[in-house]
Amino acid sequence: MLKTLVGFFLSLVGAGIMLTGAWIALSALLGLYQAALQDPLGQPEGTEKDVSVAMLRGVYIGAAGIVPFLIGSVLLKTVFFRRLARRRP
């Protein structure tokens, strides 16, 4: 029971961190496109570089969520397969 709860918690935390990182990266990209659509020639110098730095920050945040997500997934799968093996006659 404890392994199931810990695995579920770690999977949720990892997924949340990964989704937060994806949101940060995509919001920076969407901001760049939104600004380009509003004023295509009015982009300041270095805007793309700033957006790439912001996107990489989001990717790094999302990558930090991979570890707890994988640990939680492995815990849940081991609990599932052990329960399945116990039920077989």
- pLDDT per position as a tens digit, 24-50: 999 999 988 888 888 878 778 888 888
d(CA 30, CA 70): 29
d(CA 77, CA 34): 42
The mean pLDDT value of the chain amounts to 91
pLDDT exceeds 70 at position 89: no
pLDDT confidence band for 86 (50 / 70 / 90):
confident
How many Cα atoms sit within 13 Å of 60 on the Cβ side?
6
